[in-house]
Amino acid sequence: MKIITNWFYLTVVLITICQNLSAENARKFYVVDLKKDIGSTTWLYVQKGFESAKSYKADYIFINMNTYGGEVLYADSIRTQILNSKIPVYVFVDNNAASAGALIAIACDRIYMRRGASIGAATVVNQTGEKMPDKYQSYMRSTMRSTAEAQGKDTLINGKDTVIQWKRNPLIAEAMVDERTVIPGVIDSGKILTFTALEAVKNNYCEGIAESIPQIIENELKIKSYEIENFKPTLWDNMKGFLMSSVLQGILIMLIIGGIYFELQTPGIGFPLAVSITAAVLYFAPLYMDGLAANWEILLFLIGLVLVALELFVIPGFGVAGISGITLVIGGLTLSLLNNVDFNFEPVKTGAIGKALLTVIGGTTSGFVLIIYLSSKIGSKGIFRTLALTKTLTNNDGFVGVSMSNVDLIGKIGEASTVLRPSGKVKIAGIVYDAVSVDGFIEKGNNVKVLRYETGQLYVEAAE
Tens of pLDDT, residues 415-446: 989 988 888 899 988 889 888 888 778 888 88
Output the average pLDDT for the chain. 80
pLDDT in tens, 72-92: 888 988 999 999 999 999 999
CATH H-level superfamily of 397-462:
Nucleic acid-binding proteins (2.40.50.140)
Going by pLDDT thresholds of 50, 70 and 90, the confidence category of residue 267 is low
Going by pLDDT thresholds of 50, 70 and 90, the confidence category of residue 402 is low
* Of the listed ranges 106-110, 209-213, 348-352, 392-396, the one predicted with least confidence: 392-396
pLDDT in tens, 203-259: 999 999 999 999 999 999 999 899 999 999 888 878 877 777 777 777 887 888 777
Query: Is residue 451's pLDDT more than 70?
Result: yes
> What pLDDT score does 300 carry?
82
Residue-range domain boundaries for the chain? 2-233, 244-387, 397-462
> What pLDDT score does 379 carry?
52
Stated pTM of the model: 0.65
pLDDT in tens, 309-353: 777 666 765 677 777 877 887 888 777 777 666 666 666 666 677
Q: Which CATH architecture has domain 2-233?
A: Alpha-Beta Complex (3.90)
SS3 track for the chain: CHHHHHHHHHHHHHHHHHHHHHHHHCEEEEEEEECCCECHHHHHHHHHHHHHHHHHCCCEEEEEEEECCECHHHHHHHHHHHHCCCCCEEEEEEEEEECHHHHHHHHCCEEEECCCCEEECCCCECCCCCECCHHHHHHHHHHHHHHHHCCCEEEEEECCEEEEEECCCHHHHHHCCCCCCCECCCECCCCCCEEEHHHHHHCCCCCEECCCHHHHHHHHCCCCCEEEEECCCCHHHHHHHHHCCHHHHHHHHHHHHHHHHHHHCCCCCCHHHHHHHHHHHHHHHHHHHCCCCCHHHHHHHHHHHHHHHHHHHCCCCCCHHHHHHHHHHHHHHHHCCCCCECCECCCCCCCHHHHHHHHHHHHHHHHHHHHHHHHHHCCCCHHHHHHCCCCCCCHHHCCCCCCCHHHHHCCCEEEECCCECCEEEEEECCEEEEEEECCCCECCCCEEEEEEEECCEEEEEECC
> What pLDDT score does 65 carry?
94
Query: Is residue 25's pLDDT more than 90?
Result: no
pLDDT in tens, 116-158: 999 998 888 877 778 888 888 888 999 999 999 998 887 777 7
Query: Is residue 107's pLDDT more than 90?
Result: yes
> What pLDDT score does 24 carry?
52
> What pLDDT score does 21 carry?
43
> What pLDDT score does 308 carry?
75
